[in-house]
Structure 1
């Protein structure tokens, strides 16, 4: 057969296949149309979508077979859209949506005019540049035109002929010049017009005839209009939504200007100067339901609000309003949400019952100067926040009758008297830093809802209430800095969810080890803070073994899924004080993902347990000011995330283990005032420390001490080596003794990026099983089990791994010799998994990971039901097809569903309704279903039955619209919805009060990030990268009191000043936005901040003086001025400094010599005038300059 005939045959077969795909939607496309579609696809890189995803967005005319609709999946194409593209041959197109693709550096071809039947054209978020061609005006049938979020320049596009337009969105471009008011406001069908975030100038003219425009939605903010632009707008009498925030008029806005807009329901005028008189007497629409006047410099309470009887939401936050909140506000009949945060209010008018009958359910009056007694809360209140005021008197007992109340925060006030008896009815209670007295009520009934209880910094006495053991939901308990006198509460070990527990600075006494010297058995504990009490005794060798919350869940290559972090958080807006990196810090109202242990300031003695090395992701360890003896545990070298280690003021002896020098994150070490000897380990982790960190040890020598060791260190005596090895083996024996199948380690959420944020995960498996004929390892498998394992291996081609690779993933029960764990190496097996596979003979398996194997064309055998002890099952990316077997459908004693807590099925080719049987796995805590390639959108309500679910990953799937009434498990802690085509912020997140981690990156979400997101009490990691966000709702302090520590809002279109960062931020990335103004100086007070990336924005002003406190600093491509601060102190942590493409002057700072960790330095494209810095040769790690 000739090559040409072969090619022709191939094309025919392919077209036949593609036709079949399209016919499945009951739509028939002509072969020439299918061929053109494939040709169009081949013009671009299309790694972002497969063929079926592409064709899913195609519709053809039933009669003619011509393509009439083309909607590309988000992120499908990358490349340049050329004038000769096959796209312009689809002359019958009526609907074209190319949004959210990457046509970077493409101008808009004039050939779009060929598509003259178009009714809908959406080209947003595509990276188009240049001017919009005039030929666009030939598309006379257009009703919907969206070219927002590109880089278009030039004047307003020609739309004169587009008389059928109802929707026009040009927002977030770089258009300039005047807008054609005479055309826009006379278009007969135009109802939606969005022009915000451009550079339009000139005036706005609206015809006098009120009937000439049908506009109901208008947004004009962030342009450069001149003159009286608001007066013409007032003629648009059909408007119901008007946003003129940040219009930057040169005159204060008179709200009376909006009086003709009788249909107006929503009015945003934030960040404008308002005419004071119009705030007290204004004839604005009485139909208003939402009025947002945030950050307008208002000094008196606006009395115009009194007339707005339909008002549901009022936001006056971040103004300068003084005096008392008027009594009439609470009488508005439909008022639901009130935000008065960050003003100068001194109180509330009226009696103590001023808002008892108010309809308000969400009330935030925090950060004011309110004094006096607290009024009786509204009857239906859900959220009540009044922290950081000066309220006095007793806490009103009526909160005990507020059955809807969820969040109750009166912290940082001056309340006195006892704590109310009804705390167990409330999920979130924060009474921190008041003057409360008496004991904590012993009234926590069985099934109490309490999740967070913070009563720290009061005057409480007595004992810890024993009824706390009934609080099975309790996650955060802080009673620090009181006068409580009690023994250590071992009885709290029954709490399954307790993560943060702090007893600091009380009068606790007695032993810390359980009476039977067993491990400390708090199953979910992450942060244990016991400093400055009177604890005595020693810690048992197995003390840290049973920190079961630390179990790792891994994929095949060892990366950590962000959702696998079982973080230690602080409850709703709690304060956590840490002795960290040698400093005492009050971290403020934050949640934190730090994993910390602080036993300092007690009278503990004996050896530090080697089992401390099991806590792989511990961030800070403080055992100072005790009486510990013996060696520094060698196992500390396994604590790879450790940043702060304080063992000072004990009686430790021996040498400092050289292996500690491998702890790459270790930035603070203190072993001062012990009995240590020998050479201090060399390397940046130790040489950069202060001399005081090693003082008080007469036998220590080497840098940074002035005492030289004179000679290279000698080998330890043989007896000491043997003793050390014996200690390590004993430690292993202790661990092995705690049951077969136990996974070890501590997974915490502190993640430090190596520049751009990456989340790594390392499976902890310290005792890998090597089974050879000699059975040399301490763990043994029965011969029949070894035979079954080898038989299973021989069922497949396994060029990707040899026998040792295979057996490394095997673990057996010590007592029975049965295989309990099997984890295949990535890419190990190729072949079909058959029903009679030897795998199903391994009936004692509890952990099975077959991910990233190649079981091509294998259906999922029903014999998985034989493995009825399975708790962990991972089959992701293994080329499985077909249905999920019926054995998963009904939980019973003979199906794996009865025990499964972890299930990963993503990136396979399953068919049918696979989610329904999964929804019956009611014990699931982790569910990963990314990239399922199913043909229907996922309804998140399908997971409503999974009440124990904590982690849900469903990225790269289509979802049904996410409504606020979605019934998803309230237990969720991690939710990953990356790349799901979401276009509106998911309001259903509001109900997920336990959420630690949210990822909605790579979607198409527009507008502002809602203010309520930052109030989540446990939120630590937020990933909003690559959306269309234009800003963050709220004041400049909207993030200040958030618990978030890792925040990535890069690659959006956010403008304006950058908000004040969260108090305990660790990673902050906002590159590729349009922020302006100065870099907030508050970053200098963020002692946890490690990574700061504000590159590719429009920041101005000087660089802050505190750069040397940060490891990674990227300020590239801004408009910063002045010189680089000469403030890099000795031991500076800076590793990366990029300030290229700014307007910097002066000289290179000589204090850069102190940056011994510096690896990357870029100051290119500035105006720095200096000689070549030969002096930088002293930097040992500099790689890029």
Structure 2
């Protein structure tokens, strides 16, 4: 038993220790020690201009320091909140934060922390709020010791790179109301059932991880849960009817982008607080969940990307009580008509029913949806007339149906100068996609009334007549015009004077004629211009080279004529098609010197945002618009999505070009497709083509090319299509896998070619004659001369290309004596066939 004096001294001793630990000096020193745990480097380019934690110094009270909050009476640190502070280091296992015994609130948000979360944080026993989110280099597992923080009510470890399983010890945090583990990418395994013990939890967010298995049935205990977001994981099941029926406080549910394969609960009307229901991109099956729409508070429904089937039946709903604003049902197996009672959801702003099998016409009752700003009915089996009340909608997508005509607007609307075609309260840019239907007649002039029109696609229909010149009223806002594959005639109107935002114009496969409008030169944002398959009669529009962003230029299959020998070049061009015109003359040997984009390798080839890809994949109200073009590829006229056409290609085929193929073609070393066929090119095949290492298709057929096929072309390892037929070529065919797998017809009608027995079958191979040897030496000399000329051309282009070409030239000259002729097959082209003797 302790005597009174001993008891007094013991209590006094504890009091001294406590006061020492809680003293302002001790608290200040602990904070300064914490600051010194991080290697601040003012020279780091990411460091802020002001030194991190510059206010933390001994010249001021620590309670006034940035991010520090103290108890007003004892000066104990109770809160430390550091946001966007460049710490650039790791939390130490013995971090000085452990000396702040009364810390209630710790936030280290977006502080560039690295390393792992130390398990010692579990010793901060008074902690109620812990936020260590948005630290891009924070890795490792979640320490199970965090489960010791019995007072914790808020835990946010989101937007890091944490890995491993969620520790079951988190189920001990009985006071927890917010749990956010989202966007870590690396959390795996099943959610521990112990999480169901957190019956005070109101918010649980775990999206963008690799969590799998079933949602624990214990989640049914979370009857205070308001937000549950488990999207972008790998969950596959769970007793959803049991769980959802108990989550009566739920207002926001998101389990999208998982692997659920079950049915939804048959009765969800008990979720009377639900506002957002998102289960998209799973494999849910069954019929349309009618009970969901009896929830008066419901605002947004996302059922898209599942396997729901059957007709839409909303059941008994009241228009006066419905708050529904968004209905997303795309990419399911719904069929039958769109129900008339969809109009009972009077507050609907966005409807997407695309990629289903809906039939019939658009219900007239939708006229009552006066708040509707976006409607997507694309990829269905709808037909009939497109009602005129839809033109007040800002984003309208009706493509890939069977609509036959557009309902006329009253003449007063068409002629009126002050009529506001859009009556919605929500204002915004206008986007119309009615492509791939069976629309007939003229392009309606009332489209020009939409002064905010930014996107118009009427392609793949049966529209006739001329392109309305009144579109000039819209060109100042228009970014995309696609009228491809109709029966439009007349001139392309000169309406582009103010079209500075126009990035894509496609009027291909129509009957347009006349000259190209010079006002196109004002389209300074133009990236994609497709005029192919018309009757334009004009000279080559070299003035288009001033459009610095032009990436895709299709002028093929028109009546264009004359030389194209402009030296200006197209610095941003990736794909050009001049095929099937009447262009003539010779191309200078340095013709392609300034075509920089086809020669460059960089981030643009990775389809980054700077690549202009957004031009060809227009974002339209949450959906992605994909355009396409057709071009000759490997001998076949093929339609490509523009995202694929971003490889680099040149097609000059089907013209009247003469002279030599420019050696500067080899400078365009990022080309994938080269077609110079069906011209009158002469001379030898440029050996510089071997510099195009990624070449996949080369067509030089139907010309007057002579000499040997350059041996270095055998080193083009990506080539899958070659065509040298119908020329005057001679000598051996290069031996390589790429050449051997070509069809025999790729070499036909070249009387001097030999070495084709592996391609065209067994043949008699005579020994080379002295004439053959002489011919070989003569051609080797010609190749040497070409290589020297090419070396000189490379000097003008740049040292990087020059070095590569000099090396290639040295290799060629040192090996030219080894070029021996081993045999010759006699090929005679007779009536379109090849005979081999």
Residue aligned with 1:611, SS: helix
CA contact (8 A) 1:239 1:264 kept: yes
Q: CA deviation at 1:589?
A: 6.7
Mark the CA change 1:468 to 1:578 in structure 2 (over 3 Å): closer, same or farther. same
The whole-number CA distance in structure 1 between the counterparts of 2:536 and 2:702 is 26
Residue aligned with 1:693, SS: helix
CA contact (8 A) 2:217 2:238 kept: yes
CA contact (8 A) 1:97 1:122 kept: yes
Mark the CA change 1:151 to 1:100 in structure 2 (over 3 Å): closer, same or farther. farther
Mark the CA change 1:708 to 1:69 in structure 2 (over 3 Å): closer, same or farther. farther
Residue aligned with 2:346, SS: coil
Mark the CA change 1:768 to 1:679 in structure 2 (over 3 Å): closer, same or farther. closer
Counterpart in the other structure of 2:358: 321
The whole-number CA distance in structure 1 between the counterparts of 2:343 and 2:688 is 67
Counterpart in the other structure of 2:455: 407
Mark the CA change 1:53 to 1:441 in structure 2 (over 3 Å): closer, same or farther. farther
Residue aligned with 1:173, SS: strand
CA contact (8 A) 1:341 1:367 kept: yes
TM-score for both structures, normalised by structure 1: 0.53
Q: CA deviation at 1:466?
A: 2.8
Question: Which of 297, 309, 315 does residue 346 from structure 2 map onto?
Answer: 309
The whole-number CA distance in structure 1 between the counterparts of 2:438 and 2:684 is 51
Residue aligned with 2:584, SS: strand
The whole-number CA distance in structure 2 between the counterparts of 1:569 and 1:250 is 36
Counterpart in the other structure of 1:416: 464
Mark the CA change 1:677 to 1:59 in structure 2 (over 3 Å): closer, same or farther. farther
Q: CA deviation at 1:456?
A: 0.9
Mark the CA change 1:597 to 1:561 in structure 2 (over 3 Å): closer, same or farther. closer
Residue aligned with 1:604, SS: strand
Q: CA deviation at 1:586?
A: 2.2
Mark the CA change 1:117 to 1:632 in structure 2 (over 3 Å): closer, same or farther. same
Deviations 1:85-119 (A, max 9, x none): 4454444543154789999996x765333232333
Counterpart in the other structure of 2:788: 729
CA contact (8 A) 2:511 2:535 kept: yes
Task: Indicate whether 1:545 and 2:593 are aligned.
Answer: yes
CA contact (8 A) 1:265 1:290 kept: yes
Counterpart in the other structure of 1:263: 297
CA contact (8 A) 1:128 1:152 kept: no
Counterpart in the other structure of 1:644: 697
The whole-number CA distance in structure 1 between the counterparts of 2:637 and 2:397 is 30
| Larger fraction in strand | 2
The whole-number CA distance in structure 2 between the counterparts of 1:265 and 1:66 is 41
Counterpart in the other structure of 1:501: 553
Counterpart in the other structure of 1:199: 237
Structure 1 residues not aligned, in runs of 5+: 1-11, 30-48, 745-762, 771-1185
CA contact (8 A) 1:676 1:700 kept: yes
Mark the CA change 1:194 to 1:434 in structure 2 (over 3 Å): closer, same or farther. same
Counterpart in the other structure of 1:371: 404
The whole-number CA distance in structure 1 between the counterparts of 2:455 and 2:446 is 15
Question: Which of 359, 384, 389 does residue 437 from structure 2 map onto?
Answer: 389
CA contact (8 A) 1:311 1:332 kept: yes
CA contact (8 A) 1:569 1:593 kept: no
Residue aligned with 2:639, SS: strand
CA contact (8 A) 1:323 1:344 kept: yes
| Larger fraction in helix | 2
The whole-number CA distance in structure 2 between the counterparts of 1:565 and 1:319 is 33
CA contact (8 A) 1:374 1:391 kept: no
Residue aligned with 2:176, SS: coil
Task: Indicate whether 1:180 and 2:199 are aligned.
Answer: no
Question: Which of 190, 199, 203 does residue 167 from structure 1 map onto?
Answer: 203
Q: CA RMSD in A?
A: 4.4
The whole-number CA distance in structure 2 between the counterparts of 1:226 and 1:597 is 51
CA contact (8 A) 1:411 1:430 kept: yes
Q: CA deviation at 1:397?
A: 1.4
Q: CA deviation at 1:716?
A: 7.2
Q: CA deviation at 1:729?
A: 3.4
Q: CA deviation at 1:724?
A: 3.3
CA contact (8 A) 1:127 1:151 kept: no
Alignment of 1:1135-1174 (within 5 A): none
The whole-number CA distance in structure 2 between the counterparts of 1:244 and 1:410 is 33
Mark the CA change 1:499 to 1:111 in structure 2 (over 3 Å): closer, same or farther. closer
Question: Which of 273, 276, 281 does residue 238 from structure 1 map onto?
Answer: 273
Counterpart in the other structure of 2:180: 146
CA contact (8 A) 1:574 1:591 kept: no
Question: Which of 495, 503, 515 does residue 463 from structure 1 map onto?
Answer: 515
Q: CA deviation at 1:638?
A: 1.5
Mark the CA change 1:102 to 1:206 in structure 2 (over 3 Å): closer, same or farther. same
Counterpart in the other structure of 2:148: 114
Mark the CA change 1:109 to 1:384 in structure 2 (over 3 Å): closer, same or farther. same
Mark the CA change 1:74 to 1:299 in structure 2 (over 3 Å): closer, same or farther. farther
The whole-number CA distance in structure 1 between the counterparts of 2:270 and 2:114 is 43
Deviations 1:895-928 (A, max 9, x none): xxxxxxxxxxxxxxxxxxxxxxxxxxxxxxxxxx
The whole-number CA distance in structure 1 between the counterparts of 2:264 and 2:639 is 50
Q: CA deviation at 1:18?
A: 1.9
Counterpart in the other structure of 2:336: 299
Residue aligned with 2:171, SS: helix
Task: Indicate whether 1:136 and 2:170 are aligned.
Answer: yes
Alignment of 1:540-619 (within 5 A): 540-550=588-598, 552=600, 573-587=626-640, 592-619=645-672
Task: Indicate whether 1:704 and 2:759 are aligned.
Answer: yes
Mark the CA change 1:322 to 1:65 in structure 2 (over 3 Å): closer, same or farther. same
Q: Which has the larger radius of gyration?
A: 2
Alignment of 1:991-1030 (within 5 A): none
Residue aligned with 1:464, SS: coil
Alignment of 1:821-840 (within 5 A): none
